[in-house]
Amino acid sequence: MSVPEKPALEGLETKWQSRWDADATYAFDRTQSRADVYSIDTPPPTVSGSLHVGHVFSYTHTDIVARYQRMRGKAVFYPMGWDDNGLPTERRVQNYYGVRCDPSVPFDPNFTPPAEPPKPPLAVSRPNFVALCTTLTVEDEKIFEHLWRHLGLSVDWSMTYATISPVSRRISQLAFLRLLAKGQSYQLEAPTLWDIDFRTAVAQAELEDREMPGAYHRIAFAREDGAGAVEIDTTRPELIPACVALVAHPDDTRYQPLFGKHVITPLFGVPVPVRPHPLADPEKGTGIAMICTFGDLTDVVWWRELSLPVRAIIQANGTLKPIAWGSAGFPSIDAAAAQARYDTMANLTAARARARIVELLKETAALVGDIRPITHHVKFYEKGDRPLEIVTSRQWFVKTMDHRGALIDRGRAMRWFPAHMQTRYENWVNGLNGDWCISRQRFFGVPFPVWYKVRDDGTTDHDARLVPDEAQLPIDPSTDHPAGYREEQRGKPGGFVGDPDIMDTWATSSLSPFIVCGWERDQDLWARTFPMDLRPQAHDIIRTWLFSTVLRAHLELNSLPWTNAAISGWVLDPDRKKMSKSKGNVVTPMGLLEEHGSDAVRYWAAKGGPGVDTAFDAGQMKVGRRLAIKLLNASKFVLTKITPIGPVTEPLDRAMLRQLDDVVRQATEALQAYDYAAALRVTEAFFWGFCDDYIELVKRRRGRDDAGAASANGAAQTALSVMLRLFAPVLPFVTEEVWSWWQPGSVHRSAWPTSAELAGAGDDAHAYTRASEITAAIRQQRSERKLGFSVPVRVTLGGVDRALWPAIARDLLEGNNVVGDPQIDFDAPALTAAIEPVAADA
């Protein structure tokens, strides 16, 4: 027993995190079988970003569950991952070093980044760029790990993984090749959502809508038969050269006579048909729309379902491509005029081309009336700055549309906390409008493990795929060459060429259970950890990470990846808005932990229930800090006088333990349902009552050296042991500190408390609650009559339970500084108390 004279919270984080590390307190015991393992699919944070309060919030929730399960006797498999793959890392490296990746620059083995980021950025080769990404992410990961350790995450730090690591690249490539072999992945040249700044395809899950100013332009299309004009409204007049048809609703009597007839596009003189399609909305604009290849996703649907030609004009960089009018693709009744007009638009960005074409339209009187400004929603890549275009390109897809029903069923087979988050998942699956595009035209990521044969004429034969043997993975097709070829044949007629693309970051993240559990790498580990028990994550990535993980496990393993999904909420500003990045950076997580203490910050986080958006509240952290300090002091008090100790015989002691038994039961039930907030509430309420009422009532009895003192000591120590363990998942540092004063080993490896430990205590907690009520009544009288505790008083009581009174009378009288025998009216209808001071000299 070694209780400090002045216990304090300062320094506990450093002390215990290094001790836990040295003792391997959280090491995963991989000798356990699946039934005795609890495995957690931890979200790998993006290391190129900065951690903010939201991370601290949600990772604390997961850690509470991990600690609880560990105390329940499970071998907790709780690895931490780093998401260092993909665009965010590229951006960070570009800004940090002042470089940009240019694949045409040759590799420089002696390259070192400039001391100061140069302007303009220095162009570097892809291998040099990737090396910089790797260097910087390693540094970022150290900072992240330091923060997580300080927060007290009970991660097994020997098991970290990174989404760009060789293991992750191998798993990504292997899983991709398996999909390809099964026909679940395919390559297609098709219209795809495209970010013109990043010059990459993006997936449906990465879209967001933003409100943008726009304008309706009413455009007249002359009828081919000369019988007047048809007017359409468009916000994108610059796409008139890409127009392939007009479309109206089949039931729209205004336009029915036009179906099958042709109109002539203004300026360019292209005859295009008027076609019916049910997606056309008679209420929008003039009720008839122009179909361009491609202005939006509806255009793609119309183009496909009406078998229209392609007349694409937007290039990968967002400018209009030069076109030869009068050719097969771009027919015109006046090719010369079309060419002259179009040449003034070619190579302009869409926005500039729009301004230019408005001038042309005005000159030719094809613009009807005024341009009407509107605000409308436009699709953006979530990380992008300009609206997405639709560009036809060759991309890799994973089949999702075929599996929607099965994926809904998978969602129903898992348990969701909170349950309503399942609806979001179903909404997403039901709203899918195409297969998952997994290829990105970027540099830092997992390459597709594919080469193509080069024909004798030097063109690439995308149908003649060459794939590596699984044993060779991971490979980089830009530096490795396929079996049966020599490196010199790269890009040469009769040779080969590597697939230039990398995978979407979610194509790797979706394999996190595969990566951590040892799929196709460590069969023994796999058998002990998969399917996993828990996927904790935030609700904003249900459509990406959660969905894609379910998909991959379904396609590859015909299994759920995990049985439980715990969805955490967001941290909100006090004004109820999502905590913004700027504000999140002002309040840095490390600053918070240092100011309030890790336990205090964890306490605040634990108060936010599963899936509940929670206000950032430093006040709650202060409360948490007070709780931790109270634990130190109350424990010191209980443990400072520990003898005599004996059987718990006193009714008040027995009733207290009986009450605690209820608390254990409630806290356990709550944690089983992932409701750590409810578990904390009941534990905390009991603890404060224990301190303020129980300890106060028995401290004098405890001061003696008789059987009553032995009972009080026995009960107090039992209660303390139980409470420390109930608090341990939320407050790992202070509970460990106190535990170390009098118990061997770590509280975090001790057994979660059970009713069995408290069995034999009283069979009724009534004496405990009643004693608190009587005490409160006496205290109220003292307060009203301004008689401090140190003034001895006589008491008159009413409504006290006749049978109960003798058992608790002594504790109550001593504990409230009451002298003499109280007068009691046992039959009074309600509890009453009246006091009279006793003169000190009386």
Partner RNA sequence: GGGCGGUUAGCUCAGCGGUAGAGCACCGGCCUUACACGCCGGCUGUCACAGGUUCGAGCCCUGUACCGCCCACCA
Task: Name which of residues 676 to 735 contact RNA (CB under 7 A).
Answer: 677-678, 681, 685, 688, 691-693, 695-696, 699-700, 703
Instruction: Give the 3-state secondary structure of residue 383.
Output: coil
Q: Which of 783, 825, 826, 828 binds RNA (CB under 7 A)?
A: 783
Positions in 506-525 near RNA (CB under 7 A)? none
Nearer residue to RNA within complex by CB, 284 or 749: 284
Kindly state whether residue 258 participates in binding RNA, applying the rule CB under 7 A: no
Long-range contacts of 23-26 (CB under 8 A, 24+ apart): 23/746, 25/154, 25/746, 25/748, 25/749, 26/70, 26/76, 26/78, 26/154, 26/155, 26/156, 26/157, 26/748
Q: Which of 146, 377, 412, 749 binds RNA (CB under 7 A)?
A: 377
CB of 621 to RNA, least distance (A): 11
Contact 165, 133 (CB under 8 A): no
Q: Which of 605, 634, 697, 747 binds RNA (CB under 7 A)?
A: 634
Kindly state whether residue 637 participates in binding RNA, applying the rule CB under 7 A: yes
Positions in 578-607 near RNA (CB under 7 A)? 578, 607
Kindly state whether residue 776 participates in binding RNA, applying the rule CB under 7 A: yes
- The contact pattern for RNA, residues 151-190, with x = CB under 7 A and - = no contact, is ----------------------------------------
Calculate ∠ Cα 246-249-254, nearest 5°.
Answer: 85
Q: Which of 358, 629, 673, 807 binds RNA (CB under 7 A)?
A: 629
Positions in 220-249 near RNA (CB under 7 A)? 232-236, 247
| 447 secondary structure, DSSP code | B
CB of 629 to RNA, least distance (A): 4
CA 778 to chain centroid, in Å, comes to 51
Nearer residue to RNA within complex by CB, 208 or 825: 208
Which residue stretch of 281-289, 328-336, 585-593, 820-828 sits at the interface with RNA (rule: CB under 7 A)?
A: 281-289
Kindly state whether residue 548 participates in binding RNA, applying the rule CB under 7 A: no
Kindly state whether residue 207 participates in binding RNA, applying the rule CB under 7 A: yes
Q: Which of 214, 513, 518, 708 binds RNA (CB under 7 A)?
A: 214
487 burial (CB, 10 Å; 0-12 / 13-18 / 19+) is: exposed
Question: What is the edge-to-edge ordering of all strands in the sheet holding 415-417?
Answer: 415-417, 562-568, 532-538
Tokens of 75: 């071998």
Tokens of 334: 């006046």
Which residue stretch of 119-127, 206-214, 521-529, 738-746 sits at the interface with RNA (rule: CB under 7 A)?
A: 206-214
Residues 6+ apart with CB under 8 A from 712: 650, 653, 698, 701, 702
Positions in 8-37 near RNA (CB under 7 A)? 8-9
CB of 161 to RNA, least distance (A): 27
Tokens of 643: 């003898």
CB of 515 to RNA, least distance (A): 25
For 320, half-sphere exposure in the C-beta direction (CA atoms, 13 angstrom radius) is 28
Nearer residue to RNA within complex by CB, 168 or 718: 718
Positions in 786-815 near RNA (CB under 7 A)? 786, 788-790
Positions in 296-325 near RNA (CB under 7 A)? 296-298
CB of 62 to RNA, least distance (A): 19
Kindly state whether residue 420 participates in binding RNA, applying the rule CB under 7 A: yes
Q: Which residues of 318-331 are buried (b: 16+ CB within 10 A; e: fewer)?
A: bbbeebebbeeebb
Which residue stretch of 15-23, 43-51, 158-166, 610-618 sits at the interface with RNA (rule: CB under 7 A)?
A: 610-618
178 burial (CB, 10 Å; 0-12 / 13-18 / 19+) is: middle
Q: Which amino acid is at 253?
A: T
Cα distance between the two ends of the chain: 43
Of 239, 194, 195, 190, nearest in space to 392 by CA: 190
Contact 830, 774 (CB under 8 A): no
Which residue stretch of 89-97, 120-128, 294-302, 743-751 sits at the interface with RNA (rule: CB under 7 A)?
A: 294-302
Query: What number of chain residues touch RNA (CB under 7 A)?
Result: 93
Nearer residue to RNA within complex by CB, 355 or 464: 355
Which residue stretch of 21-29, 290-298, 435-443, 644-652 sits at the interface with RNA (rule: CB under 7 A)?
A: 290-298
Contact 280, 248 (CB under 8 A): yes
Strands 185-195 and 389-398: antiparallel
Instruction: Give the 3-state secondary structure of residue 793.
Output: strand
Kindly state whether residue 625 participates in binding RNA, applying the rule CB under 7 A: yes
Kindly state whether residue 828 participates in binding RNA, applying the rule CB under 7 A: no
Q: Which of 158, 633, 672, 823 binds RNA (CB under 7 A)?
A: 633
Q: What Rg, from alpha-carbon coordinates, does the chain have?
A: 35
Maximum C-alpha span of the chain:
120
Residues 6+ apart with CB under 8 A from 399: 184, 185, 186, 435, 436, 555
Kindly state whether residue 546 participates in binding RNA, applying the rule CB under 7 A: no
Which residue stretch of 102-110, 405-413, 439-447, 576-584 sits at the interface with RNA (rule: CB under 7 A)?
A: 576-584
